Chain A
Amino acid sequence: MIRLGCYILAAVVGLGACTPRYEMTAPEAFKRFDQRGGYKAITADGVMLKAREVKNYPEGDLPFWTDALQRHLIARGYIQKGKTECFKTQKGQDGCTLVFLLPHGAEDWAFAQTVFVQGKRIVLVESAGPFDRFAKIEPALATAMHSFDPGE
């Protein structure tokens, strides 16, 4: 019985170790609600922020995936707002942010993607909201991206 408990504990600890620990000092307007290692936050007026990751396969660097993402979304009809903004986080991680506009229902929405490439994984920080609400928080969000830590 004790052995079974140890197995379960080891499995839980193991799973926990596999879950990336994203950290970010988001703008004050965002309230984080997923504390299990993932990152989800939302503002009172519905602008959403989320971090996730995908496999870096075929293995590419940041310019490769930024270019692929930009081309794909533009081909789908998304309109890129401004230029791709590349930066370095406080921990020295390179990242690039692309903001797109698209129609959604009876509104225009902004959909932003910040890409970090870290070895075998690509970490994406996605945010979205109706254009006017997103535009108000966009500068603070861009600043907050510098504090993002994609974890190990």
Chain B
Amino acid sequence: MRGLAVTFVLVFALLARVAVALEPAAGMVPSKAAVHGPPTEHAPPTLPAHGLPQSATQTDDGRLTALTATMVVKVVHVAEVRKQVLAKVKALHGHPMLMTDAELVLKVPPASLPELLELLASSGTVLGKSLQRADLTDEIAQLEARLKSKREVLQRMRGFIDDSNVQATLRIERTMTQLVQELESVKGELAVQRERARFATVQVSFQYFQHGRITYVNSPFAWLNEVDLDVFLREF
């Protein structure tokens, strides 16, 4: 009888895992409740009680998004501008992710993004800029659903350990170990996605040569074909 119960639990765990794997295919629409649901047990300490990331990029309809801005800006004194930008990022409660002579990757709260971009634009000549927004709502909702489902299965399995024989206990433990690994993996993915929503990423390049390429274009006006830096340097 006990063996039957253990078998039942193992089959249930297997079915739960299959069901979770099929979530998107089954057309599970991430509900707002899933996004705004109760906090998970091991939520990062920086997250507020309602489970939403602080300063997350959230649109009017409640969707979570990741903002990425890129900017190529030519400045005369790179070191000075870099110092100013880093001070501003600190003041905006952001942090740098990468700092080289030619490049900066910065994280700032989404609400502060326009202020930072304005500072960058005013520090030199903007040669290129772009802003990308990725919707993370579905992904976060699916990860939260997977996490919830796995936790429930794990909880049920714990209840059967006390009543099982050694062999069944070993099988349950093996399954539980596997489940815990999966649970940690989902938690990790969830943390990454929440972090993406919590901070906007700003990639600043002070060098144009990394991005541009000069091509040969023939002009119908002959003399214009001789207006070229290489020609200028050769004939100087």
Which residues of A pack against B, CB within 8 Å? 40, 48, 50, 54-55, 68-69, 72-73, 75-79, 81-82, 101-109, 111, 113, 122, 124, 126, 128, 131-132, 135-136
| B227/A113 in contact, CB under 8 A | yes
Closest A residue to B214 by beta carbon equals A77
Map CB proximity to A onto B63-78 as digits: 1 under 8 Å, 0 otherwise: 0000000000010111
| A48/B232 in contact, CB under 8 A | yes
| Residues of A contacting B127 in the complex (Cβ-Cβ under 8 angstroms) | 79, 101
Given known A-B contacts A48-B236, A103-B209, A128-B232, A77 and B215 have beta carbons under 8 A apart: yes
List residues 196-236 of chain B with CB under 8 A from any CB of chain A.
207-210, 212-217, 219, 221, 223-224, 226-229, 232-233, 235-236
How far, in whole Å, are A111 and B236 apart by their CA atoms in the complex?
13
Minimum C-beta distance from A72 to chain B (A): 5
Q: Chain B interface mostly helix, strand, loop or mixed?
A: loop
| B233/A128 in contact, CB under 8 A | yes
| A108/B227 in contact, CB under 8 A | no
| A128/B229 in contact, CB under 8 A | yes
Of A54, A75, A108, the contact of B208 (CB 8 Å cutoff): A108
Minimum C-beta distance from A39 to chain B (A): 11
| B216/A76 in contact, CB under 8 A | yes
Closest A residue to B223 by beta carbon equals A54
9 A–B pairs (Cβ distance < 8 Å), ordered by A: A40-B236, A55-B223, A72-B217, A76-B228, A103-B214, A104-B229, A107-B209, A111-B229, A132-B76
| Residues of B contacting A75 in the complex (Cβ-Cβ under 8 angstroms) | 217
How far, in whole Å, are A101 and B210 apart by their CA atoms in the complex?
13
Closest A residue to B76 by beta carbon equals A135
* B125 located at the interface, meaning its Cβ lies under 8 Å from any Cβ of chain A in the complex: yes
Closest A residue to B226 by beta carbon equals A54
| B224/A101 in contact, CB under 8 A | no
| B236/A136 in contact, CB under 8 A | no
Minimum C-beta distance from A26 to chain B (A): 15
| A69/B227 in contact, CB under 8 A | yes
| Residues of B contacting A48 in the complex (Cβ-Cβ under 8 angstroms) | 232-233, 236
